[in-house]
Structure formats: structure tokens, C-alpha cells
Amino acid sequence: MASWFPIGQDESGGWRLDIVALLAVTGESFIGEHAQALTSFTLCLLPRIMPAPHALLQPRRPTSLPAEVAKVTSVYGDTVLDSVPFFANIIHPIDQLRPFPFIVLEIKHKDPMDFRSDPVFSLSDAELPQLDATPPGSAVATAVDPENGHVRPNLVRRQPTMTEKVAGLVSNAPQLRRTESINVPPIAKMGRYAVPPALHSPLHVLSVLSFIMSIGLIVAGIVWKDGTAVVAVCLLSLATSVIGYAAWWRPLLMHRPMRGKHPQGDVIIRTREAAVLLIKCREEVARELYSGAEECQYVSTGIRCRLFMTLGAILMMPSVILLGNCSFNMQALVGAAYLFLNITYWVIGMLPLKYSWDLSRYEVRDSTQDDARDAHLWMPVSSLHHENPEEGYPSLVRTIWYAIRETKQKDWVIRSGAVPQTENWMKWIVEATEAAKRGERSWPAVSRYNEIVGEGFENT
């Protein structure tokens, strides 16, 4: 029975770990899930071992980010979309909503003068500070003499903090230089905001950790005089850097460059499960998060990108062969490292995406009224100031009524296809809108709908 299994580490019949080379190319599904987040920051250039780096080699790189299917409708405009963009879905994940809830969120820019994430970001016209600029040709007071180092009132100086400098370095977003000042013109400067990765993202930590592990493996190979292992780890680490550069990118949001009068940017989101979200925001926020499409801006394009992809693939091939010829100790060490990385990437994949992207630019507040907060649950009619028990049960009619009551508008209901465009529904929508404008928060929406439907049957 003992002869069935190898004994010891000798080359003739001992344990061998040649299969450990496969660990370097397995885990493609884990890496593919993190591909966009991994290649959106400067640390993707860090030479390090990474499971299945070839997962970043895509023949056709995506030009936009994945979106969630839902109906997005402008309350005051004519925009109707069929999906919730990527970053908006991170702020409020619609796939976690139950049937029939109604939620009101207020989203706004937390700091209108915050330029810390990317120099391409420009002020929106609604966020331009009201500063009294000195008219052309007028005298400049000595207190604000530019020749003496003073700043004119219509110039705003911005000095980044140390944390902002580190965040800018990691996210490939250079900060404003110390001597730079931002002039606020009548028309906002052209530019688009690039969403940076979160500074303390688990992927950032794991990238640095894998870099340290790579150095440790190289040192171990030198100590054990295993040149094959040293060359293999170096080639794998270099291949990761080359492939990372070929896939390096950053997401750009849409913006509104010109000043002018625009309607309020409120949007209604309706899911297939009849969940309704009312997003109260300005047109600038709506353009960035909802109506405007994100763009993937890549660092390398065209033939240069393909050359780096080819070079990365070429570096991987001999490194995998060399791993199969390392000593037993190095194969065990490399195998343990890749096993740890595969498990860690899998665990990170279960975390919400909000840990990977820095959306601190936006301030989100839940402003749902108390009488509509539990629209997805049964509520006693006494709390709703109704006598009909039908009003207490969750339903599409009640959820749509809550949305109409909050917006006091009916056009979005028709444009979005939230309800069938039948005579009964149209009559109910008109009455619901009139009741909302009168401020009747306790209007019996469900009871009135049943009455209208009953009248329709009686007339037929």
C-alpha cells in the first residue's frame, strides 16, 4: 500500500508540484469580475503576481460600464431610459429592492469647489460661486495687487491635502499645482469628471500585498539558489504590469458645459418588481449619474495597446513553464501564494462595489416621508387615516400614488409606461394628480381606482 503514494521530495518518486503552474493561470472568473476596478488606478502598473492576468486581455475593450435594467424617466423633461447607469446603481443598488417600495433620495454635490479627483472636472453653472469680479479696465486696489502676491476676488486657490495627493497619485488624477488658480468664468470650462477608485479599496490593499509577496518569493528563490523560480516570478510580475498598462483606463462622466435655464433634474426609477425611486437632484447631477453615459477613456489605444497585450502574453508563456521546473520548496511557496490570492479575490468579489469606487463627491439623503416609508409592507389603515382596509396592502396603485403625491406630476407616469394607457388608468392618474396638487396626502388611491374600474365594468 505504501508504494501507491510517493514518499519524500526526491526527484525519482517523491512528491512533485508541477501542477502548481496552473494556479498562475486559474481564477479567471475572479479576476474578470474585478477587471475594470483593477485597471482603473495607477497600482495596476505595480509588478506583482496575480492569478490569471490574461483575464485582463480583452480583444474588444468595453466602451461603457455595465448598467442595471430599469426604467429611468425624467420628471420634468422628456428623457426616458431603459437602464440605471453603473455609478448610480452603486449609490442605490436597485437589485436589492423589494416589490412595491417607494423611496425618495436627495443627491447633490457635497463640495462644489472640490477639484481633488481630476483636473478634467469643471464647475457646473449651478455651482459657480457668486463672486464679484472686478470689471475690465477698473483699478485694482492695493490690498489685492497681483504684483504683491495677492489674489483677485474672482480667483479661487486650491491646495490639496496630503490625503488628496495620495488619492490623486493612486487614481491617476494629478492634483492642482500649488501655483494653479481656478478662474471662474461666466461660462463653465469644458471638462468631465473622472470617478476615482476608493483610496482604501480592498483591491488597492491586495495589490500592494501581492507586490510584497512577489518580492518575498524572489528573495526566497535567491536564498534557496533557485534561479528558475526567480526568473519565473520576475516574468509573471512584469507580465502583470505590461497587461495592466494595456488595460489602464478611467471612467468619465457626462457633464453640462454651457450655462442656461434647465428644468429640475429629478428622475423616477421603476424596476420590474414595481419598486419606485424618486431622485431629487439638480440637472448637473442627473446628467452625470443618469441621463449621461459614462465613457471609458483608455491610456493606450490602437496599435500600442495591442503591442503591450502581445508582450504580456509572451511574458506569461515561459514563466508558466519555468514554474513547473522550480524546486519543491519554491513550488509549495508559490502555490500557497496563488491559493491565498485566489481566495482573497473571491472574497472581495462578495463585497459591495461601493468599497471599490470613490463616490464621496455626492451627498445622499433619504427624504422619504413617514407615511410612505413602508410602502412595500402592510400598514394599518389607522396610520394612513383611511377606513378602507384595501389601502393598507402594498400594491402598484399605492406606490404610483405615493410617487405622484411627491412629484405632483403625471406626465412621467405615461411616458415611462408605469401603468397601462387605458381609459380607467388615465382617469385615475388625472384624479391622483389633482389630489396631490391640493395637498390631500390621505387621498384613497386604491379605493378610488377600484371604483373607477368598477364603473368601467358597469358601463360595458
Rg (alpha carbons) of the chain, rounded to whole number:
29
Torsion angles phi and psi, residue 156, rounded to 5? -115, 120
HEC profile of the chain: CHHHCCCCCCCCCCCCCHHHHHHHCCCHHHHHHCHHHHCCCHHHHCCCCCCCHHHHCCCCCCCCCCCEEEEEEECCCCCEEEEECHHHHHHCCHHHCCCCCEEEEEEEECCCCCCCCCCCCCCCHHHCCCCCCCCCCCCCCHHHCHHHCCCCCCEEECCCCHHHHHHHHHCCCCCCCCCCEEECCCCCCCCCCECCECCCCHHHHHHHHHHHHHHHHHHHHHHCCCHHHHHHHHHHHHHHHHHHHHCCEEEECCCCCCCCCCCCCCEEEECCCCCEEEEECCHHHHHHHHHCCCEEEECCCHHHHHHHHHHHHHHHHHHHHHHCCCCHHHHHHHHHHHHHHHHHHHHHHCCCHHHCECCCCEEEEECCCHHHCCCCCCCCCCCCCCCCHHHHCCCHHHHHHHHHHHHCCCHHHHHHCCCCCCHHHHHHHHHHHHHHHCCCCCCCHHHHHHHHHHHHHHHC
Residue 425, strand partner residues = none
Cell numbers at residue 203, please?
483591491
Contact 194/251 with Cβ under 8 angstroms? yes
**pLDDT for 180:** 33
The domain spans of the chain are 15-111+194-368, 372-459
Residue 188 has what pLDDT? Answer: 33
Is 0.85 surpassed by the pTM of this model?
no
Is residue 26 within 8 A of residue 52, CB to CB? The reply is yes
Q: Please report the pLDDT score of residue 257 as a whole number.
A: 63
Closest CA to 372 of 400, 402, 407: 402
User: How far apart are the C-alpha atoms of 237 and 324, rounded to whole Å?
Assistant: 17
- CA separation for the pair 362, 411 (Å, rounded): 28
Q: Within the chain, what is the greatest distance between any pair of CA atoms? A: 101
Q: How far is CA 405 from CA 72, 244, 252, 378, 409, in A?
A: 18, 50, 35, 19, 8
Contact, 120 vs 138, CB < 8 A?
A: no
Phi and psi at residue 268, to the nearest 5°: -115, 130
C-alpha cell at 209: 500585498
Cell of 420: 397601462
Distance CA 258, CA 320 (A): 54
Adjacent-strand bridge partners of 365: 106
pLDDT mean for each 10 residues of the chain (460 residues): 51 57 73 87 92 85 88 92 94 93 94 46 38 40 43 47 52 38 33 83 94 97 92 95 93 73 85 94 92 86 91 90 85 91 92 91 93 82 64 88 94 91 92 94 90 66
Burial profile 93-120: b = 16 or more Cβ within 10 angstroms, e = fewer = ebeebeebbbbbbebbbeeeeebbbbbb
| Pairing state between β 276-280 and 102-109 | parallel
Residue 173 neighbours by CB distance under 10 Å: 24
> What pLDDT sits at residue 16?
58
> Rounded to whole angstroms, how far apart are CA atoms 127 and 124?
5
Q: What residues pair up with 364 in beta bridges, in sequence order? A: 107
